[in-house]
Amino acid sequence: MINKIPYKLKHVGINCENEKEAKQLVSLLCSLFDLETGNENDTHIFASGLFEVMKNSKRGKHGHIALQTPDVELAMADLARKGISFQEDTIRRNAGGKIIFVYLKGDIGGFSFHLTE
């Protein structure tokens, strides 16, 4: 019997057209759900750790969903057996060389998915 891979929702990424739209959405999300504005960089703004509001629409039709799992490489192997492939150029590794982040190829329900530790 194969053990199930544990996943938990880390955050939901929501695409916006530009920085102005992203800032407006973060303000709304924070106001509605009593969240704090989080880290911001050139591509995104976090509303707490729940929402990553993108300043563009480069990944996924609607955005992306981040799934956290304790062993990204094990999850990748399981998903590969199910026919899923990965965007090799998105792989991030820890200091020991182990994969800790990767995007799946293609969209599911209009969302890109990525795995992270």
- Each residue's pLDDT expressed in tens, for the chain with a length of 117 residues: 467 899 999 999 999 999 999 999 999 999 999 999 999 999 999 999 999 999 998 899 999 999 999 999 999 999 999 999 999 999 999 999 999 999 999 999 999 999 999
pTM assigned to the model = 0.90
Return d(Cα 80, Cα 63) in angstroms, integer. 22
Tokens 């880390």 sit at which residue? 10
List the structure tokens of 102.
Answer: 């990767």
